[in-house]
Chains A and B, each alone.
Chain A
């Protein structure tokens, strides 16, 4: 029968989790789904090898794996495989197993048969990262992976060790210059980076607004929208061999004269020519704008090309606190009047209808920017956690030299908070993670986009993040919104910062090389350490002290020592930490995503290709209480949690607001104000829970 060809028992079992028996979810069905998935699908579709030798040789000879024999003897590899297989890894939920086999496991060229199990992928990644450093180093990496303490981001975990693969880095950012060469370079970069699987973000704030002059003739410029349209089509054209759609974002400064048009592009009923469906959008908000909104003073949107003509500088690069008054009084600067509060509400309205735009609070990011003397952070990326210095390149016509400046390249990975705490291996996992991330930066050279390659070559940026915060708290009977949760995060992320900085210093010492510009950084002048020398970040509550029992927590004295070493040896990475939203990887790790609260005790997950029910890690019908949904939480408490984490993160934290249909535009705008005052650097999506039809009828009755 036809339906039976499509119907899969494990999907039915997974769906049956939601069937309530005696008012309790059928959680045990999830384990049955995993079992059915392996017995009926995975095992049947896995290529069998008689010996490990046969497997490794087959994979190398048939161009699936790179030639690991360049680095290891067979016996050395065997040692790593044996060590990892002896761990007897089992997937804890259907979602984890399904996601792994669906998206990560190596398949043969027919696409039908698996050539790898989870253990094999872990070993391949570890062998790749350890390179010439021997089996012990490979085991060290592999152990953090199989223990599920550290998870490299998708591009690395998916591609490392494969012969025919995409890049290991996935996150790129660049500026767009205000001329055809600059725009052409950006579109060209977008296509190339998208084709290798990267998410790309562009700052389009330098582009002249609609109706500005071209070659001195007024009224000719098309503004930012046409460029966005080109970008959107470029990203959807250049996907990674059809495997996943290209993804991109554009950021625009809120003072840019096209900002209203920019926000409208996400509206449902807007002209097709200016409607943006799949391109993500973000706005850059300087402090000055929030100040105008607070004081309810008149706000002017500014035409950037008139600024360039008058001052020879980009509007987007000006300090608005300093320049705003001057710009609005200068008659040569074209501007239009808006109400700042209304614009905030307009943003809220757009978010309610589409989830967009992202918000980047520019001064919040720059006030604590360790490279502030090198340059400023102007915008963020597709997931709003990358915050690095960038500068627009000058692209010339053929035959003339271009001036290439910094784009941004970042490779990511996340700690699993629950396992590193339970195994008491915070220090070891952070160190191992930092080394793994460094290898990826070392071996990456995106030379087809020179501004990106230059940034990686000189800055070695990485982004270590974390996942499973809510899962770990719930497992320990701590409510996400509680004082204890803040207390925990404050100490934990201080430690991640400490050990990642220490590792970066050690690498700089070992290689006798720092990132370019270290001398001008806050690390070199020591100001970076002020906050850690003023007070300690030890746990305050008994509950959290108990959670850290048996784990050394760096003291003020430790920080003092680290400061001296950093000043002596330098640090290798210009940027070290960034907390990504990590979705797919958190499923594999059986974790709650990132540092965000969960959305539901049993998450309903829609991907482009499937719907899956995912009971949260450690959930039982008894501890449901601690798995409170983000939609039911006070968003201010969530933002407060992020502000505590943010203190210790040199880049950003991907922060999602969870609202329901009853929240007004005013409620949303108040969250922006609160987030800004708390010092948050960015806000990612706003997710909305719909009021259901039952609710709608029940209030009518």
Chain B
């Protein structure tokens, strides 16, 4: 047996200048699906047209597939090949969140749709060729590192695929819940979606930073960049068709396509590359809906998405009780 030496993760010594920050941000953002109350959307759901419901279910079905892939294959494979133990830790936390994401779409489904409808959606996921193409393409790059002699090039492509999934492919699905929420529909379910968007956003940035680290060490940078761009292009073409298929009935195709391009550019920026898509005006309702800064809400009628876990407990000292109590008037 080979005499392999095992290292323990040492958080006392930073591996790089970002792992710690992302670890903390991730933990702050922790949430679980059952904190939210999608049952408040029952009336809204009943009021949606048949076509809108169908699109909504497909959008969520597609998202479920991507999060499943990410938590079961993407993250575990990448963790295996990333060197930094701290990065591995952050990735495994993200992996756990991806599983929560994949489950939380079901929380929405389960609440608003019947068992038959839910089964139909999962059947549709299995049969939709564009969705399967997305999954197959990304999965092939994840599997690319699944061998003893995986190269840095293989790892770069796996990381790139992960960024494409997190920062690019999700958004055709996110569009609808965000858009409906802006119109006052399915608002409680959108709370869950917004939490997922906030998570995916840091996941994409983090994996992008690791990818950039790997990219720096490559000898054939230009070749790999082109390879990455061609995967992006392939997925972009597929994404356009996917968008047409699910959004045409409800008449949102053009806006979703614009949004997909907007996020394509974001994925490129996460990889440290220049944007390539021309984007004119993204629907402001959806863009505003993405703003994860604090919003005002009425505590009695909905749950806020603003609160986060308190990471650090700082205790009081004697001097905290000595204050200048002067009031000038």
Question: Which chain A residues have a beta carbon within 8 Å of chain B's beta carbons?
Answer: 1-8, 11-12, 15-16, 18-19, 199, 244-245, 247, 268-269, 272, 277-278, 280, 293-294, 296, 341-342, 344-345, 348-349, 352-355, 382, 483, 486-487, 490, 540, 583, 599, 603-611, 613, 631, 640, 643-644, 661, 664-667, 669-670, 673-674, 677-678, 685, 687-693, 696-697, 699-701
B181 touches A605 (CB 8 A): no
Contact of A688 among B183, B250, B308 (CB under 8 A): B308
Contact of A5 among B49, B182, B298, B306 (CB under 8 A): B49
Contact of A604 among B35, B249, B295, B300 (CB under 8 A): B295
Closest 10 CB pairs of A and B: A1-B251, A610-B184, A666-B314, A608-B301, A247-B300, A664-B314, A3-B251, A2-B250, A352-B310, A700-B21
B31 touches A611 (CB 8 A): no
Contact of A483 among B17, B291, B329 (CB under 8 A): B329
Residues of A within 8 A of B297 (CB): 605-607
Whether B313 sits at the interface, judged by CB under 8 Å, is: yes
A609 touches B187 (CB 8 A): yes
A606 touches B295 (CB 8 A): yes
Interface of B is mostly: loop
| A269-B31 Cα distance, complex, nearest whole Å | 9
Contact of A677 among B187, B292, B325 (CB under 8 A): B325
Q: How far is the CB of B140 from chain A (nearest CB, A)?
A: 29
Question: Which chain B residues have a beta carbon within 8 Å of chain A's beta carbons?
Answer: 17-18, 21-22, 25, 28, 30-32, 34-35, 37, 40, 44, 48-49, 51-52, 180-185, 187-188, 198, 201-202, 205, 249-252, 283-285, 287-289, 291-304, 306-310, 312-318, 320-321, 323, 325, 327-329
Residues of B within 8 A of A352 (CB): 307-308, 310
| A486-B312 Cα distance, complex, nearest whole Å | 35
Q: How far is the CB of B99 from chain A (nearest CB, A)?
A: 15
B28 touches A661 (CB 8 A): yes
| A324-B315 Cα distance, complex, nearest whole Å | 25
Residues of B within 8 A of A269 (CB): 32
A3 touches B250 (CB 8 A): yes
B298 touches A607 (CB 8 A): yes
Q: How far is the CB of A673 from chain B (nearest CB, A)?
A: 6
Residues of B within 8 A of A691 (CB): 25
Residues of A within 8 A of B18 (CB): 697, 700
Provided the pairs A631-B294, A664-B314, A699-B21 are in contact, do residues A611 and B288 lie with their beta carbons within 8 angstroms?
Answer: yes
A665 touches B183 (CB 8 A): no
Q: How far is the CB of B310 from chain A (nearest CB, A)?
A: 4
A7 touches B316 (CB 8 A): no
B284 touches A19 (CB 8 A): yes
Residues of B within 8 A of A664 (CB): 312, 314
List the A residue with the shortest CB-CB distance to B255. Answer: A3
Provided the pairs A277-B37, A607-B301 are in contact, do residues A693 and B292 lie with their beta carbons within 8 angstroms?
Answer: yes
Looking at A349, A661, A692, A699, the one whose CB has the most chain B CB atoms below 10 A away is A661
| A8-B31 Cα distance, complex, nearest whole Å | 32
Residues of B within 8 A of A490 (CB): 329
B320 touches A669 (CB 8 A): yes
B310 touches A2 (CB 8 A): no
B202 touches A696 (CB 8 A): yes
B308 touches A353 (CB 8 A): yes
A-B contact pairs, 14 of them (CB 8 A): A6-B185, A18-B287, A18-B288, A244-B300, A245-B301, A269-B32, A344-B316, A355-B307, A604-B296, A611-B181, A611-B184, A666-B314, A669-B320, A690-B293
Contact of B315 among A4, A345, A611 (CB under 8 A): A345
Residues of A within 8 A of B17 (CB): 700-701
| A558-B314 Cα distance, complex, nearest whole Å | 51
| A373-B291 Cα distance, complex, nearest whole Å | 53
B299 touches A604 (CB 8 A): no
| A610-B301 Cα distance, complex, nearest whole Å | 11
B327 touches A666 (CB 8 A): no
List the B residue with the shortest CB-CB distance to A295. Answer: B321
Residues of A within 8 A of B310 (CB): 348-349, 352-353, 665
Contact of B320 among A16, A670, A693 (CB under 8 A): A670
| A1-B52 Cα distance, complex, nearest whole Å | 10
| A490-B35 Cα distance, complex, nearest whole Å | 43
Residues of A within 8 A of B300 (CB): 199, 244-245, 247, 278, 280, 382
| A8-B185 Cα distance, complex, nearest whole Å | 12
Looking at A277, A293, A643, A696, the one whose CB has the most chain B CB atoms below 10 A away is A696
List the A residue with the shortest CB-CB distance to B198. Answer: A693
| A278-B304 Cα distance, complex, nearest whole Å | 11
List the B residue with the shortest CB-CB distance to A598. Answer: B296
Residues of A within 8 A of B295 (CB): 604-606, 611
Residues of A within 8 A of B183 (CB): 6-8, 11, 610
Residues of B within 8 A of A296 (CB): 318
Provided the pairs A2-B51, A2-B249 are in contact, do residues A341 and B37 lie with their beta carbons within 8 angstroms?
Answer: no
| A692-B329 Cα distance, complex, nearest whole Å | 38
Residues of A within 8 A of B292 (CB): 690, 692-693
| A667-B292 Cα distance, complex, nearest whole Å | 24
| A643-B329 Cα distance, complex, nearest whole Å | 11
Given A7-B183, A599-B296, 16 new contacts (CB under 8 A) = A2-B49, A2-B52, A244-B301, A268-B309, A280-B299, A487-B329, A605-B296, A608-B298, A609-B44, A609-B187, A643-B327, A665-B314, A666-B314, A689-B294, A700-B17, A700-B22
Contact of B307 among A5, A19, A688 (CB under 8 A): A688
Q: How far is the CB of A565 from chain B (nearest CB, A)?
A: 27
| A677-B321 Cα distance, complex, nearest whole Å | 9
Contact of B288 among A613, A673, A689 (CB under 8 A): A613
Provided the pairs A11-B285, A268-B31 are in contact, do residues A693 and B25 lie with their beta carbons within 8 angstroms?
Answer: yes
List the B residue with the shortest CB-CB distance to A19. Answer: B284
Contact of B201 among A7, A382, A674, A693 (CB under 8 A): A693
Residues of A within 8 A of B301 (CB): 244-245, 607-608
Q: How far is the CB of A172 from chain B (nearest CB, A)?
A: 14
